[in-house]
């Protein structure tokens, strides 16, 4: 194996943007999909995965999410997904991971969303020795304000392991303005926030970017499509960005990373994290994401190390920064960087 690729695998890594259900192994996804019609539909979606423009690709991804949501039907399913996700991160030498998920109930509410969260937190605790993980709760663009408020309350109730609030879901639905009161409350209680921004090239999406930047979340996700003015504001205000190469390439319809905005923000020494987004659905891992970046933009091993070190300052659980930096220091000494 290439020496640099090997380095990307061995270096201790930090994952800050991973949607729990999007991390599902494809073998598990197929096992959970019981009906043959759904299996056939997944085959077709897989085949058409990288066809069409940004809107068509997003539609494909979100149809997969809806299939996925329909086949995760109980706590055992989510326990399995959480367990396998953590195992996959551990074997990729990820030392700290912030996983995000939209809380859900099962069996018409008989199993409440608090049980969903507790099931995930239990798994996280079980793996604590091998990987330190924290949870971020997602508010989905399609939800009601009432549901979003409930999510905020849940985040407050499990404050030790829930470290932030995310805003995600189908970017065709421009609803940040509607949820702004919930995110204002999150700020009031010092809960960190991360908002998906600029995922589509259309005018409405670009306009919504302004509202999101005005809010000034703790971190931003993607920022694929934007105006120069918005770019300058994010740079000036130093709002950290979570970038997800494979996912961004797919949804932006780019051939390779050369045109990706990593370069621009990296050159400006902007706070950045490289992340996987949906490692199962996108068939990637954090090492391969970093390797792509290193290869495309000719980072040295030392520069990659320094990059991951600066990412450690962006983690929501500030108590864990020192832990990550210590591990990175040890690695640097051992590999004579
Ligand atoms: C926006 C995304 C996403 O919450 O069920 N999700 N939302 N943009 C993306 N980039 C392509 N990738 C994933 O995880 C799955 C959910 O995460 C959101 C979608 O709403 C998806 O249904 P959880 O664990």
SS3 state at 258: helix
**pLDDT tens digits, residue range 56-110?**
999 999 999 999 999 999 999 999 999 999 999 999 999 999 999 999 999 999 9
Establish whether this prediction's ipTM goes over 0.90. Answer: yes
Distances (CA, A) of 138 to 59, 147, 251, 280: 20, 11, 20, 18
* Ligand 1 centroid from CA 22, angstroms: 6
Distances (CA, A) of 220 to 16, 147, 216, 269: 11, 22, 9, 16
The partner residues of 99 in beta bridges, in order of sequence, read: 18, 135
Give, using CA atoms, the residue closest to atom 5 of ligand 1.
Answer: 21
C-alpha to C-alpha distance for 81 and 85, rounded to whole angstroms: 6
Q: What is the mean pLDDT of residues 167-196?
A: 98
CATH architecture of 3-25+77-335: Alpha-Beta Barrel (3.20)
Q: What is the mean pLDDT of residues 176-202?
A: 98
Catalytic residue among 150, 199, 242, 289: 199
Q: Kindly tell me if the per-residue pLDDT of 331 is higher than 80.
A: yes
Q: What is the mean pLDDT of residues 28-32?
A: 97
Binding pocket residue ranges, ligand 1, CB within 6 Å: 19-22, 61, 65, 101-102, 138, 140, 168-169, 196, 199, 247, 251, 277-278
| Closest to 88 (Cα-Cα) out of 276, 269, 330 | 276
* Ligand 1 centroid from CA 160, angstroms: 23
- Residue boundaries of the structural domains of the chain: 3-25+77-335
Sequence-distant (6+) residues with CB within 8 A of 335 are 7, 10, 301
Handedness of CA 303, 5, 246, 314 (dihedral sign): negative
Residue 199 is a catalytic residue: yes
């Amino acid at each position: 194996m290439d020496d640099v690729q090997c380095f990307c695998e061995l270096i201790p890594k930090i994952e800050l943007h991973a949607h729990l259900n999007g991390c599902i192994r494809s073998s598990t996804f197929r096992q959970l999909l019981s009906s043959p019609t759904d299996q056939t539909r997944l085959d077709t979606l897989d085949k058409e995965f990288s066809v069409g423009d940004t809107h068509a690709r997003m539609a494909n991804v979100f149809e997969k999410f809806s299939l996925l949501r329909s086949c995760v039907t109980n706590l055992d399913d989510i326990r399995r997904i959480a367990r396998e996700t953590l195992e996959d991160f551990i074997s990729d030498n990820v030392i700290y991971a912030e996983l995000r998920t939209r809380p859900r109930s099962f069996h018409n509410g008989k199993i409440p969303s608090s049980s969903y969260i507790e099931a995930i937190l239990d798994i996280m605790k079980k793996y604590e020795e091998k990987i330190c993980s924290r949870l971020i709760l997602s508010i989905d663009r399609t939800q009601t304000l009432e549901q979003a408020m409930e999510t905020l309350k849940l985040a407050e109730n499990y404050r030790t392991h829930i470290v932030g609030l995310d805003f995600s879901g189908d970017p065709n639905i421009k609803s940040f303005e509607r949820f702004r009161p919930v995110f204002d409350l999150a700020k009031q209680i010092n809960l960190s926030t991360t908002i998906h921004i600029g995922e589509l090239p259309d005018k409405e999406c670009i306009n919504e970017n302004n509202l999101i930047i005005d809010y000034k979340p703790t971190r931003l996700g993607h920022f694929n499509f934007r105006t120069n003015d918005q770019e300058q504001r994010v740079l000036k205000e130093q709002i950290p960005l979570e970038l997800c190469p494979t996912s961004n390439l797919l949804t932006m319809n780019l051939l390779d990373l050369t045109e990706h905005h990593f370069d621009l923000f990296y050159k400006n020494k902007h706070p950045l994290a490289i992340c996987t987004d949906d490692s199962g659905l996108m068939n990637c891992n954090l090492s391969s994401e970093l390797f792509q970046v290193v290869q495309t933009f000719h980072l040295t091993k030392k520069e990659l190390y320094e990059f991951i070190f600066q990412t450690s300052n962006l983690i929501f659980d500030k108590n864990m920064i020192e832990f990550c930096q210590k591990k990175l220091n040890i690695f640097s000494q051992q590999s004579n960087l």
